[in-house]
Structure 1
Amino acid sequence: MHSLRLLTLSNGAHLLLKGSPSSRTALLRHERTFLETEAQFLTLLAQSANPCIPQLYHYDPHGRLWGSAYLIRQYMEGKSLSEMEGGLTSRQRDGIDRHLGFLLSAIGQNAAPGFGSLQQVALGAGRPSWREAFCALFEGILRDAEDTFIHLPYSEIRHELSRLSPALESVSLPRLVVVDFGRPSHVLVNEESGQLSGVVDFSSAVWGDVLMAEIFANASPAVLQGAGMAMSRTREENIRLVLYACYRLVSQITVQYYRNRDETSEFDARRRLTTTIAEMTRLNLA
């Protein structure tokens, strides 16, 4: 979606230029601020100097030199986990998961006065509750789907979201979370050591619940250990995880109609959405 260019400096060092999507690219509502979100995230994390998070060198929201908004960040070495995972030992994979859990926890140590997008909170317009912020985020993707006349059980999804959303009230402190965190294509692995070398793409960051990170959709014991979390979940946490799963699946289906459609991926997401909605109907708050 975003244009990526590798820049090589005279001293041989590499940088990565990430540009805005083409004006002809149809974007979901929450995707319209992805580049700005990533720049804000990297600015927030700059002081941590974590070697697995790239340093931001420049962000130009007006695109004076490039013609559209762009950022320049540190180039991260490594091969994506999606390419590497078949050749990793169980010990190497546990090490990566443990490191990802630790990194997720470190990111979540950053807190804000309000919930919602990084832009809203920076402007003092954050939501007072995670329940309100998440429901607004979910409603946005549902409207994206409706705009494209995608066949989905909208009424049932909205009903279950409304019924189960009180479970979100237990999230009282807005923490920094990358919604797509842990996605194999965003995780970089050192080809020689099999260890985590970096994480890229923080454009989905929000101030909210750390459990919304994609890595918790099916977290291994090593992830939970690295994050310092208990192996079991409370009733409210399980409800929140199912709500987040539903959101992700609706997003996965909707994006198929805004990009090059992959019918196999769409069918799989629809099948899992049906299962998730059925699970939601069986859940009770008390």
Structure 2
Amino acid sequence: MTMSSRTAVLRRAHLTPLMYSLPVKRLKEILIQILPSLTLGPVEEIPSTQLARLYSLTMSDDRKLLLSLAPSLAVRLLRHEATMLSSEAALIGFITGRDPLDTRPSTPEEPQACSKERADLIALVPKLIRHSTNNREMAYPYSIFDGTAGEPLSSVSIYLNIPEHKAIDRQVGSMVRAMASMTSLSGTFGTANLVLPEQLTSGVNTKSLSRGAETWSEGFSLLLEGALRDGEDVAILMPYETIRAQYQRLSHHLDSVLHPRLLVLDAGSSSNILIQRALKTSTSTSASDSPSPHTVSPIKPATRLAGLRSWSQGVFGDPLLSSCFEDPSEAFLEGWRDGGEDVIEDQENAEVRLMLYRLFRGVVGVVMEYVRPQGDSSRKELEARRRLTSALAELERVETLKRVRSGSMKDEEAKRRKTERVDKGSVREKDK
């Protein structure tokens, strides 16, 4: 039968209606161009909560590749998700210093003239083999990576002990700090797809090609306004005018962020964090260094951060916008501080900015659960609405405190002037 012959390389255990839409024949032709000496073997769909459709490709030499395919047209995307695969490819190219559209085979021997901090970050980024936005090739944009190790933290979290959780948090803090040390080549703010040009040329300032914003308040406004319009498009009930009014009142605090630093919005999401657990065997020996037949060798898992499943939500702006700073653990902050001097600007008003970022995440949470409902979306949407309401209340209190403080200062100034007038009057009476 034509369908069965076309999908012969697919393992039956993972066959789903979605798998039949994967053009395997065309995929084989693309892989021959990339790896001419190898052929495609079994293909497995990887269960994931990510928007991109993920497939594990096993080559004839047992090498593993990862195919990331853009979501089906039936999946409604938010505005900041519209160019997710291109944004991811551009961001990986920016971090590694390699043009994402360069189809030449990469050579691992090429020297990387970079700091240890950046080298450690590059080690956490998946190796991009090919990226294409040409819909004629696979019907959807796609990216092919070298096989990435690790599994989502959300799926193994219950098996980790407290020290392992702390170790992962500390490593995530170091990764986020390493990203924050990188600033946009153009000096502009906004999402990666706007700030980074389509083709990255190493060492060349490409500000003329950037569509980013000149200030962080403008860059963040594009994100927030995009989320609000996503909600208005499908008539979701939210206090749109109140949200916009609160942002307008306090947006000037964002202008104190002068350096567009790299961050990933969902870098703190347990479903996006990949970890790897390697088993280490500890063997006890006797005095003669010969293992005792009665000695039990305990197996200790060594847990480490393997990177992120998706790098598509890159933004150049205030690092505090990352979800990592929603409720950071002490271990995360330790990893962040170990990266060197603090790069957070205008720390005096950082809490106000964090409130605005919580407002943004609340809006995105409500809209996302509405436009892409899952089994527990009702509960998640309710939680997002509570966070949104709480953020609005916090912002309102900031305004109230400012008015109270301003009024108190005016009262004190009036009292001081009145006292000065009384003192001056007393002095004049004595002179008389």
TM over 0.5: yes
Partners of 1:120 and 1:20 lie apart in 2 by 19
Q: Could you tell me which of 218, 237, 262 is aligned with 1:132? A: 218
C-alpha separation between the residues in 2 aligned to 1:56 and 1:127? 28
**Helix, strand or coil at the partner of 2:316:** strand
Instruction: Choose from 302, 307, 314 the match for 1:193.
Output: 302
Deviation, 1:4, is 1.1
2:193 equivalent in structure 1: 119
- CA shift for structure 1 position 144: 0.6
Structure 1, gaps ≥5 residues long: none
Give the SS at the match of 1:189.
Answer: strand
On the 8 A contact 2:181/2:261 being kept in 1, the answer is yes
1:243 to 2:356 alignment = yes
Q: Which moved more, 1:131-140 or 1:48-57?
A: 48-57
Task: Supply the distance in 1 between the matched residues of 2:348 and 2:326 (Cα, whole angstroms).
Answer: 16
CA distances 1:165-208 after superposition (whole Å, capped 9, x unpaired): 11111110111111111100011122332222222211110111
How many Å apart are 1:106 and its aligned residue?
0.9
Shift of 1:279: 0.9
Which residue number corresponds to residue 253 of structure 1? 366
CA-to-aligned-CA distance 1:90-146 (integer Å, 9 cap, x gap): 211111111111111111222121011223222322111000110121011001101
Partner of 2:138, secondary structure, is coil
What do residues 227-265 of structure 1 show as CA deviations (whole Å, max 9, x unaligned)?
1277x9934111111111111111011011221241011
Q: Does 1:278 align with 2:387?
A: no
SS at match of 2:315: strand
Deviation at 1:156, TM superposition (A): 1.1
> What letter corresponds to residue 150 of structure 1 in structure 2?
I
Deviates more, 1:79-88 or 1:172-181: 79-88
Once the two structures are TM-superposed, the CA of residue 2 in structure 1 deviates from its matched residue by 1.8
**Residue among 141, 149, 161 paired with 1:77:** 149
Partner residue of 1:219 out of 323, 328, 340:
328
For residue 45 of structure 1, the aligned residue among 78, 90, 95 is 95
Q: How does 1:151-190 map to 2 (within 5 A)?
A: 151-190=237-276
Matched, 1:63 2:104: no
Q: Given that residues 5 and 17 in structure 1 are in contact (C-alpha distance below 8 angstroms), is that contact kept between their aligned partners in structure 2?
A: yes
Amino acid in the other structure paired with 2:329: S
SS in 2 for 1:139: helix
SS at match of 1:102: helix
In the other structure, the counterpart of 1:19 is 69
- Further displaced range: 43-52 or 195-204: 43-52
Task: Judge conservation of contact 2:152–2:309 (CA < 8 Å) in 1.
Answer: no
Give the number of the structure with larger relative contact order, counting CA–CA contacts within 8 Å between residues 6 or more apart: 1
**Which segments of structure 1 move beyond 4 Å, counting only runs of 4 or more?**
none
Q: Which has the larger radius of gyration?
A: 2
Asked whether the equivalents of residues 20 and 70 of structure 1 are also in contact (C-alpha less than 8 Å), the reply is: yes
- Which deviates more from structure 2 when the two are superposed, residues 47-56 or residues 93-102? 47-56
Larger CA deviation: 71-80 vs 212-221:
71-80
* Alpha-carbon distance, 1:160 to partner: 0.8
Calculate the aligned-residue CA RMSD, in Å.
1.9
Query: How much has 1:276 moved relative to structure 2?
Result: 1.5
CA contact (8 A) 2:358 2:387 kept: no
Show the counterpart of 1:208: 317
Given the alignment of the two structures, is residue 7 of structure 1 paired with residue 57 of structure 2, yes or no?
A: yes
> Per-residue displacement from partner, 1:15-49 (whole Å, max 9, x unpaired)?
11111111222221111111111011111122555
8 Å contact from structure 1 (residues 53, 200) kept in 2: no
Amino acid at match of 1:226: G
Distance 1:79 1:131 in 2: 36
Q: Give the residue type in structure 1 aligned to 2:211.
A: A
Q: What is the alpha-carbon distance in structure 2 between the residues aligned to residue 133 and residue 18 of structure 1?
A: 28
Deviation (angstroms), 1:86: 2.1
Structure 2, gaps ≥5 residues long: 1-50, 98-117, 198-208, 278-300, 403-432
**Greater shift in the superposed pair: 39-48 or 28-37:** 39-48
Amino acid at match of 1:245: R
Q: Percent identity?
A: 35
Please state whether the residue corresponding to 2:57 is helix, strand or coil.
strand
